[in-house]
Amino acid sequence: MQPKKLFIIFFILFASLVKGQSPTDFSFILTERAVNKVFAAIGDISGKNEYEALGVIKGHYTWTVLNPKIRFKPDSSDFGCQAKVEVGPFSYQSEVLGHVKIAYNNKSNLISIKITEAVFELYTKVLGKKIHIKDIHLEDYFKEPFLFEGPKSFGTDMSLTMPDSSIKRIYVQPSECAMKIVKNAIITSCDVVAQDKPFKKDIKLTPPIQTAELKEKATNKK
pTM beyond 0.75 = no
pLDDT at residue 69 greater than cutoff 60:
yes
Taking each continuous run of H as one helix and of E as one strand, the counts in the chain are 1, 15
Checking if the pLDDT of 122 tops 90, the result is yes
Confidence label for 4 from pLDDT (cuts 50, 70 and 90): very low
Domain boundary assignment for the chain:
4-199+206-210
The Cα–Cα gap between 5 and 19 comes to 33
Name the pairing type of β-strands 209-210 and 4-5. Answer: antiparallel
Please write down the HEC assignment for all residues of 59-112.
EEEEEEEEEEEEECCCCCCEEEEEEEEEECCEEEEEEEEEEEEEEEECCCCEEE
- Topology of 4-199+206-210 in CATH? Bactericidal permeability-increasing protein; domain 1 (3.15.10)
pLDDT band of 13, cuts 50, 70, 90: very low
Tens of pLDDT, residues 128-176: 888 999 999 999 988 899 999 888 877 788 888 988 888 988 888 888 8
